[in-house]
């Protein structure tokens, strides 16, 4: 089978949005963890970390939404959230190393507020998120996790954003990688348990089937490990979600460390908030609590602030995976 990128509806718009972020960034852009000026709500201004406090403080509880919650969660007044707090701009630590920030953080905070709940975030390995849902350790997960048919066999998803895979290389692209077909024989890194890992394995198999060299795949527990390896030249590329790759390329060393390979997004799919399949009442309450911020504009403000508005959806979808 020849290597081809899988183009999804809306991919061109998403890539154009990513390109605008990259080409419009300042050479003195702040590093992750640096705060934007107070009241700022736009990542596109060159600020790595926007101040979204005013957006979130404006979100008020909706009693009609709270009434949809399971009794045990409604009485607890809290929402236990599992996440992978190592993936900007979705969910990562501020400069103090303790405060969790990001677009996923803000979205789930707004959802919890609408439901009258206090969000409590637990940092987990990406590969442990689904099992933590199944065991009841957490109520929901949000970690820029793709909703896939395979994952839907284990948990339910409430889809809140769309994205896809892209390739990030060193600035100047010394490895001369212009698309998936150029990965044959190259050294790449992915995070364990992700759709990027599956893509890398499938791509490697396609390479060998075409008589080319297999990929040399490094699997790690965090994006930061992969970025270190790419910066030091131990690998040729990172395969990552488009929003993360764009954000990291924009802010690291003032935009001088990495770049995103242009082209259509690969294996486009929705991001989903995970919910235990035994808890459809919570799943449906979460979906309703996403729809309200979409309608009142809070959702759009959060996405705009973090520069991920190209992935916006018109409404929450339950288990909307296409593959």
300 and 157: one domain?
Answer: yes
Among 250, 266, 282, identify where a domain stops. 266
- Hey, what are 192's tokens? 């364990």
Whether residue 117 lies inside any domain: the answer is yes
Q: Within this chain, do residues 138 and 281 fall inside the same structural domain, yes or no?
A: yes
Assess if residue 56 is contained within a domain.
yes
**Residue 63: domain span:** 32-162+271-318
What CATH number is associated with residue 251?
3.40.190.10
- Within a domain: residue 59? yes
Regarding whether 105 and 171 lie in a shared domain, the answer is no
Query: Among 266, 289, 305, where does a domain finish?
Result: 266
Q: Are residues 170 and 192 in the same domain?
A: yes
- Summarize pLDDT for 168-196 with one digit per residue, the tens: 999 999 999 999 999 999 999 999 988 89
pTM, entire model? 0.73
Nearest CA to 130 out of 155, 158, 157, 148 is that of 155
For the four alpha carbons of 123, 294, 70 and 279, in that order, the dihedral sign comes to negative
CA gap 62, 74 in Å, rounded? 13
Same domain, 156 and 285: yes
Note whether 153 and 276 are same-domain residues: yes
- The string of pLDDT tens digits covering residues 193-223 is 888 999 999 999 999 999 999 999 999 988 8
Do both 64 and 140 map to the same domain? yes
Does the residue 26 lie in any domain? no
What digits encode the pLDDT tens for the residues 276-308? 999 999 999 999 999 999 999 999 999 999 988
Burial class (CB in 10 A: 0-12, 13-18, 19+), 216: middle
Do 140 and 225 lie in one domain? The reply is: no
Kindly state whether residue 2 falls inside one of the protein's structural domains.
no
Q: Is 148 part of a structural domain of the chain?
A: yes
- Three-point CA angle 258, 122, 149, nearest 5°: 70
Q: 102 and 185 share a domain? A: no
């Amino acid at each position: 089978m020849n290597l081809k990128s899988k183009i999804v509806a809306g991919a061109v718009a998403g890539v154009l949005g990513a390109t605008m972020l990259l080409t419009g960034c300042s050479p003195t852009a702040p590093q992750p963890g640096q705060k934007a000026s107070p009241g700022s709500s736009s990542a596109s201004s060159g600020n790595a970390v926007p101040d979204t406090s005013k957006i979130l403080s404006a979100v008020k509880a909706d009693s009609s939404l709270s009434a949809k919650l399971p009794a045990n969660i409604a009485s607890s007044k809290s929402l236990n959230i599992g996440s992978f707090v190592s993936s900007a701009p979705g969910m990562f630590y501020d400069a103090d190393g303790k405060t969790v920030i990001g677009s996923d953080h803000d979205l789930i905070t707004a959802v919890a507020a609408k439901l009258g709940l206090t969000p409590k975030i637990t940092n987990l390995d990406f590969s442990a998120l689904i099992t933590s849902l199944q065991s009841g350790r957490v109520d929901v997960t949000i970690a820029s996790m793709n909703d896939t048919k395979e994952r839907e066999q284990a948990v339910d998803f409430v889809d809140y954003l769309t994205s896809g895979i892209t390739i990030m290389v060193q600035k100047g692209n010394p490895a001369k990688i212009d698309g998936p077909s150029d990965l044959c024989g190259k050294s790449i890194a992915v995070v364990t348990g992700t759709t990027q890992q599956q893509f890398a394995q499938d791509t490697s198999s396609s390479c060998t089937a075409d008589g080319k060299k297999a990929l040399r795949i490094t699997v790690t527990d965090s994006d930061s490990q992969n970025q270190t390896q790419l910066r030091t030249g131990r690998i040729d590329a990172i395969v990552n979600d488009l929003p993360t790759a764009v954000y990291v390329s924009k802010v690291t060393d003032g935009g001088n460390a990495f770049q995103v390979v242009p082209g259509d997004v690969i294996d486009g799919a929705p991001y989903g908030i995970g919910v235990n399949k035994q808890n459809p009442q919570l799943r449906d309450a979460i979906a309703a609590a996403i729809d309200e911020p979409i309608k009142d504009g809070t959702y759009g403000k959060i996405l705009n602030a973090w520069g991920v508005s190209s992935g916006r959806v018109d409404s929450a979808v339950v288990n909307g995976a296409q593959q």
